[in-house]
């Protein structure tokens, strides 16, 4: 069950995978020719890898239907495969906190309540290496590279590509679809996940309620917007086990722009270890 859930979570965070992209093969197509969904996604990943960086605005929101529950995250900044500079906020109902994150290949810093906390032994490169190891190198190659996405996207998602909106004067293609439940389950089984029949049935309900949107420039193939959402109707919620009832609705968006500009950070001159952050946050509750 744990490995199955981990596989599903990994698929659901393809937006994060975009920032881990290196260069990959891209197929040239004449403008106006509607690409296949797998080619659209794979070419977008390759184009982002070639660009090397982007400005991003990310929002995540969850809402519960059966109890007063809400959680939201807003993050905006600049990112590349070797540096990150972002500011954001996290809200739980009416309670909200803000902060800033700085990272390079081997360091990570967080500003919270006017204090800096950090670790100069682990950064972006280390996090990606750990993620690759955690999800198995072969799985990473199948999902986090242009060639892997080109092979597997059609199994994981179902939908179609149409002309998208004009964004910043750029004509786009838009893929809109949802998880292909049986395809995702079969993919997970290829890597030793063994969901029970109940777990598979539950994921089919979730997949039916999912919506995945990717907007990509027609000429430059660069990804402009990605959206993943889930909204469960009442009858679907009743089919799921109790553990799903806390957050029945989910929506995450990622908007990208200003591709290719340099991203550099300046580490704070003075910072506390991360252990101190948790003590400062939760010490008063002991």
- Which pLDDT tens digit goes with each residue over 159-176? 999 999 999 899 999 999
Spatial separation of the C-alpha atoms in residues 220 and 206, rounded to whole Å = 33
Return the structure tokens found at 41: 């996604």
Query: pLDDT digit string (tens) for 122-171?
Result: 888 887 777 667 656 677 788 888 999 999 999 999 999 999 999 989 99
The pLDDT assigned to 239 comes to 66
Residue 2: count of CB within 10 angstroms of its CB: 7
Structural tokens at position 252:
């995450």
Token pair in block for residue 54: 């982007």
| CB-based burial, 237-248: b 16+ in 10 Å, e otherwise | eeebeeeebebb
- How far is 101 from 258, CA to CA, in rounded Å? 19
Cα–Cα distance for residue pair 94/92, rounded to 1 Å: 6
Residue 98 phi, psi (nearest 5): -125, 160
pLDDT bracket for residue 67 (50, 70, 90): low
Give the residue ranges of DSSP H helices in the chain.
2-12, 14-18, 37-51, 124-134, 137-143, 146-156, 181-190, 197-208, 234-239, 274-282
Q: For residue 284, what pLDDT is reported?
A: 45
Look at residue 192 in the predicted model and tell me its pLDDT: 78
Q: What's the pLDDT score for residue 134?
A: 66
Residue boundaries of the structural domains of the chain:
2-71+148-261
Task: State the CB neighbour count (10 A cutoff) for residue 161.
Answer: 20
How would you classify the pairing of strands 115-119 and 272-273?
Answer: parallel
Least confident segment among 14-28, 151-165, 185-199, 253-267: 14-28
The Cα–Cα gap between 162 and 34 comes to 7
């Amino acid at each position: 069950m744990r490995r199955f859930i981990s596989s599903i979570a990994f698929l659901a965070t393809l937006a994060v995978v975009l920032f881990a992209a290196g260069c990959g093969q891209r197929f040239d197509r004449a403008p106006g020719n509607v690409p296949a969904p797998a080619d659209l996604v794979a070419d977008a990943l390759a184009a982002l890898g070639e660009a090397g960086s982007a400005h991003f605005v990310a929002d995540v929101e969850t809402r519960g239907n059966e109890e007063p529950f809400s959680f939201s995250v807003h993050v905006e900044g600049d990112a590349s495969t070797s540096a990150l500079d972002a500011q954001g906020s996290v809200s739980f109902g009416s309670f909200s906190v803000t902060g800033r994150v700085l990272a390079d290949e081997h360091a990570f810093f967080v500003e919270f309540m006017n204090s800096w906390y950090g670790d100069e032994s682990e950064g972006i490169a280390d996090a990606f290496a750990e993620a690759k190891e955690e999800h198995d190198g072969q799985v990473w190659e199948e999902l986090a590279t242009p060639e892997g996405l080109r092979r597997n996207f059609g199994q994981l998602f179902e939908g179609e590509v149409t002309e998208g909106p004009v964004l910043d004067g750029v004509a786009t293609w838009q893929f809109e679809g949802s998880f292909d439940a049986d395809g995702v389950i079969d993919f997970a089984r290829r890597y030793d996940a063994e969901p029970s029949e109940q777990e598979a049935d539950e994921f089919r309900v979730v997949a039916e309620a999912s919506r995945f949107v990717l907007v990509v420039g027609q000429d430059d193939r660069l990804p402009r917007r990605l959206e993943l959402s889930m909204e469960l109707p009442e009858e679907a919620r009743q089919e799921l086990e109790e553990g799903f009832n806390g957050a029945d609705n989910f929506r995450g968006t990622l908007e990208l722009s200003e591709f290719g500009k340099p991203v550099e950070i300046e580490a704070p001159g003075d910072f506390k270890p991360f252990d101190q952050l948790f003590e400062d946050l939760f010490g008063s509750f002991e």
